[in-house]
Amino acid sequence: MKVKSLKWIVFALFAMLIVACEKNAVVNTAQVTVVLHADGIQEVTEIELKAHDINMNKDYSNSALMITVPVGYYDLSVHALGDGQAIRAYKRGIKVEHDCTIEMEASFVSGDAGFVLAEIFFAGTETPEGKRYIGDKYFVLFNNAADTLSADGLILIEADLNSVQKYDLGDHDFRDRYFAIDAMYRIPGDGNTYRVAPGQMILIADNAMDHTAANANSFDLSTADFEWYDVSSSAGATDVDNPDVTNLDKLYCYTQTIWVPHNQGHKSFGLARFPEGLTAEQYFATDSLYVKYDYEVVTSAGTFSQSRKSYMIPNEWIVDMVNMAPSETFQWLTSSDKLDAGYAYVAPTGSDVTRFGKAVRRKTKVTLNGVRTLQDTNNSSDDFEMGVPANPFYFKN
């Protein structure tokens, strides 16, 4: 009994101390005014201004372009309707010391709104014997629009730049205009072949087959909608082609063997569409989309200048972008932050062995009449659940 009462006394003292502290603490606040630049937009309505305190991990929001927050470091985001269409603006790492005005540029959210990447499984699985298995990677695409859409011509793309190795691109920084790719696989069809109803998913697998025979920890992907098939130059490393499942058109890949999406999650993935009428031949013949750029790699041993050439996808062609980077080793966004202001991950580091069997999955915003609408604020840090057990059919109705 005595002990218990002592506990209470200590607790009370602490509580008093805390209250006293609270009372004494003077929190300086500042007012942040946002000036939104939105080319060609007449009217901006339904404003939601969000300020994320980076150090305290606290969010503040307001429905006007003005917000009062404690001094600190903030990520600012604006979501609004510009002439009735969703627009957004984003700015990272702003130091708020006193009242200030921040200029932000707004852009339309997802020009080709509708399809999103709903689940990405890039890490592969581990066999019961503890060996790596990489043949079961998959992507889940999801129709997030209110209408039935055609998936024909959607292109699955992987970043050429690595999220954990920052390049100092200097004046060559193209990210506001282009996304550099190292793989590009397209859903075939004449424009009306593969139609997807709202709330329906498409499963794209590396190998559309039952993997559980080879690895009990894997899945049966034999019912996948598409697979990517790589004709290998050597019979020693062959890809498996399921004749019952449609292959994606292989437009481009950095390797001449089998494309294995980056298994440590260092590379962003996206969906894109060529503009109406542009053929692959024309794309590959376009000089302005095969870009040489110089950059500097900063390492502990100094700075190394490099040159690189990448095929580029203009940002306007991008339907959805999900930046990927392990949470602790993230260095930079390899796409424009207007496409994706954050990044998704399954593990703190790329080589983390707990990453096997884990995926990133888009959060469900609302389910109405059994039809999901997924969260798509173009900020993967917010939009995704990180490191969930992979389930290729999670979004299956």
What is the contact surface with other proteins in residues (CB under 8 A)? 124, 127, 129-136, 168, 170, 207, 209, 211, 213-215, 230-243, 249-258, 280-281, 283-285, 290, 292, 294, 296, 298, 300-309
Which tokens in the block code for residue 376?
């798509």
DSSP 146-175: SS-EE-TT-EEEEESS-TTS-EE-GGG--T
Q: Find the shortest distance in angstroms from Cβ 311 to other proteins.
A: 8
Q: Which is nearer to other proteins, 230 or 352 (CB)?
A: 230
| Cα angle for residues 196, 201, 202 (degrees, 5° grid) | 85
Name the phi and psi angles at 23, rounded to 5.
-65, -40
Q: Which is nearer to other proteins, 133 or 179 (CB)?
A: 133
Q: Find the shortest distance in angstroms from Cβ 15 to other proteins.
A: 42
| Side-chain-facing half-sphere of 376: CA atoms under 13 Å | 27
Q: Which is nearer to other proteins, 236 or 277 (CB)?
A: 236
Q: Find the shortest distance in angstroms from Cβ 162 to other proteins.
A: 16
Helix (H, G, I), strand (E, B) or coil at 382: helix
Q: Which is nearer to other proteins, 97 or 171 (CB)?
A: 171
User: How far apart, in whole angstroms, are the C-alpha atoms of residue 57 and residue 50?
Assistant: 13
Q: Which helix (H) or strand (E) holds 257?
A: none
Terminal Cα-to-Cα distance of the chain (whole angstroms):
58
Q: Which is nearer to other proteins, 35 or 235 (CB)?
A: 235
Q: Which is nearer to other proteins, 218 or 315 (CB)?
A: 218
Q: Find the shortest distance in angstroms from Cβ 121 to other proteins.
A: 15
Q: Which is nearer to other proteins, 230 or 340 (CB)?
A: 230
Q: Are 115 and 143 in contact (CB under 8 A)?
A: yes
Q: Find the shortest distance in angstroms from Cβ 149 to other proteins.
A: 26
Q: Find the shortest distance in angstroms from Cβ 127 to other proteins.
A: 6
Q: Find the shortest distance in angstroms from Cβ 365 to other proteins.
A: 36
What residues have CB less than 8 Å from 118, skipping those under 6 apart? 140, 141, 142, 201, 361, 362, 374, 395
User: How far apart, in whole angstroms, are the C-alpha atoms of residue 392 and residue 397?
Assistant: 12
